[in-house]
Each structure stands twice: as C-alpha cells, then as structure tokens.
Amino acid sequence: MLTIQGHQNRICQGWSRRELIQAGGLGLFGVSLPRVLAAEEAAAPFQNGRAKRVIFLLLFGGPSQLETFDMKPEAPSEIRGPFQPIASRTPGLRICEHLSRTARLSDKFAVVRTMNHRFNDHGSVHYIQTGHPHPSRFGPQPGETPVGPKEWPSIGSVVNYLSLNHDPQRRTTMPDYTYLPNRLGALQGINRPGQYGGWLGSAYNALATDIRKRNKTDNPYFRDCNDEELDFRIRGILSHDEVRIDRLDRRRSLLEQFESQRRTLDDTGVIGQYGKVRQRAIALATSPRMQAALDIRRESAALRDRYGRHLFGQSVLMGRRMLEAGSRFVTVAWDTPDGYSWDSHRSSNDLKNHLIP
C-alpha cells in the first residue's frame, strides 16, 4: 500500500493482513491463511519500477475497442463495425486493419483486457487520470469549474510530488509534469477535473501549453498545422498577445516590485505560496533548456512528417522532446474541439480518415 506522506488518502489500493483475514477467514481462493502469510514473508523485497519517463496519450472520448484492439468479427454487423481484423506480431492478437504499423510493433506493448469501470460516460476520464471516479456521473458540464483542493490528484501530479519531495534540494530546469497541447477541455471551454494537483496542492499542477484553434468550427487535430500555430506557449505565463521572453522579463521585474511591497500584508501565507508557485513556473518557462525543448522547429522535416503535421502528431513529438530534455511525466491529450473527438458514435468515417491513421 502506497501512502503519500502528509496526507491520509491512498493513491494505490493494496491488501493489508487485516483485509486478507476479513476477505478469506481461514482460506482465500483455496489457499490457507498461514500459507498466504508465509508466502508474503518469503516474497522478494520490493523494487522500484524501471520506468524513468512516461508519456501518457489521452484520447478523449475513448477509442472503441471493437474497432481497434478487441474486435468481434463474428458478432452481428451492428456490433462488430465495418473494419476487419489483421494478424499482429503477437500470436493470437488480431487488431484493426487500419493499425497495420501498430500490428508490426505488438511485441513492444501490452493490451490490457481486464480493466473495467462502472462509468458509461465521459466522467471516466477523471478515473483514468486519477484512479478514482468523478463524484458526478456525467462529470462537469460546460462552464463549470469543479476543480478544487478536495479533488483527487492526477497521476502526473503524484509523480511531480514524489519527485520534488524525494530530493527537495534538487534543482531542475524542466517541469516534472507537463500537459500538451492544452489543458483537457480548453478547446470546449470546459475546465475538466482529474488533471490537476487536487489535495496535493496547486504547486503540483502540470505546466501546460496553450494552442488555440482558428475559429469555432476548426479542428486542428484533423488538419496540418503551421509553425506559427505550433508555438506551444506556456499557459498563464506566455499569452497570445505577442508576449515574448524579453517582455516577460520586464513584466516579471515589475511584478517583483509590487510583490515586495505587499509581502507584509500576507498574514495567512496564501499569497506567499502563490508567489512561490508562480516564480517557479516563470523560472521554468524562461529557462534556455525549456525554451529549446518547446521549439519544435529544431526537429527535422522528415521526423515531423512521420509524426503527422496535425496537432496531435506534433504534440506527441513535443512530448518526446520534453521527456528527452528532463521531464518525468507528460500527458498529450487529443481534446474535443468539435464535441465528438474519439466519441465516434455518429460515424466510423472519422475513425478511418482521421482518428486511427
């Protein structure tokens, strides 16, 4: 069982001895309790995982397993869908015909078939980012701001917390937790919970970028984006009113003058904490290493073409750049600019022409 120091909430459910006794009495799954406890004592000592970096590809709306990795070719036509399965490199694993490149790499990934949840709606995006269900069945509605200090923290925020508190003196020029290309829900005007620090505190929120669409009906995930659009500005620090690094430095100097005058007014410590978080965010955003990582033009045209020139492809490439520069956890979200995204109930043509390729 893993418990974050300083807070009583669990972030990873596990079995305690008491729970084993309650679950099984004198027997658990046909194994006597003494044998269970003996096996526990003889188990190898805990070892940390080998993964040092994570890129989390979040496809909002949810890809249909029936058209991707768990096809049902023998099912009725209204269930199985229009696509055909093909063999992969893994014996017995057959996936969608439009995932031919993925099929050739199936020995590099695992398809998990045992995971499930009780939420037949988009509120489950909170579950997959935090490990806990959203309190509302349907999640937040447009215009709502349900994010607060009582929310469960995202996995990335937990990684951020553990990284910073494992070595408080560690100095880094890259954020431990990054969110690309926008906060989830930004293109819909929805502030979706599950992606923030929650009760860990706003200090453990992701450093997010901010890329906008051309107009209300535009879908940058379905078209090529130019370099002017792909500037990956830091949300809340570098805005879209042509604020550049030199102007940001002047603003920061002025801000510091104001803050020096109001520090004596901070009796609660809230302003001071906000100032620390903001100063760290500005320091990260203006560091040469961060600026270099955010400049996607440094990549070759051939590599950028391989990832796809649409917003998601270039954001995944940017996620790779962030990890290579030192970030620990990067979420790349395929958001919902058109109200549907991977929620492909209306037509399988989006899957064939835009989403799966």
Return the domain boundaries, the chain.
56-232+294-355
pLDDT of residue 7: 43
Residue 329 has pLDDT above 80, yes or no: yes
pLDDT band at 86 (very low <50, low <70, confident <90, very high): very high
Q: Are 54 and 72 in contact (CB under 8 A)?
A: no
Cα(316)–Cα(212) distance, integer angstroms: 17
Which amino acid is located at 48 in the chain? N
| Cβ atoms < 10 Å from Cβ of 178 | 29
The reported pTM is: 0.75
pLDDT of residue 10: 44
Residue pLDDT, tens place only, 48-82: 777 889 999 999 888 888 889 999 999 998 888 88
pLDDT of residue 140: 52
pLDDT of residue 4: 40
Residue 40 has pLDDT above 70, yes or no: no
What does the mean pLDDT of the chain come to?
77
pLDDT of residue 292: 93
Find the radius of gyration of the CA atoms of the chain. 23
pLDDT of residue 25: 42
The more confident residue out of 126 and 334 is 334
Give me the percent of the chain exceeding a pLDDT of 90: 40
Terminal Cα-to-Cα distance of the chain (whole angstroms): 40
Residue 85 has pLDDT above 90, yes or no: yes
| Cβ atoms < 10 Å from Cβ of 17 | 11
Cα(220)–Cα(213) distance, integer angstroms: 6
Residue 323 has pLDDT above 90, yes or no: yes
Poorest-pLDDT segment among 98-107, 125-134, 272-281, 348-357: 272-281
Average pLDDT estimate for 199-219 = 91
- Sort 93 into a burial class: Cβ within 10 Å, 0-12 / 13-18 / 19+: middle
Number of H helices, E strands in the chain: 12, 11
User: Phi first, then psi: what are they for 144, rounded to 5°?
Assistant: -80, 150
Contacts of 287 (CB under 8 A, 6+ apart): 173, 174
Range list of H helices, the chain: 17-24, 33-42, 77-80, 100-104, 124-130, 155-166, 245-262, 270-286, 288-293, 301-307, 311-325, 349-350
The segment with the largest mean pLDDT, out of 52-66, 88-102, 145-159, 165-179, is: 88-102
Poorest-pLDDT segment among 25-34, 39-48, 325-334, 345-354: 25-34
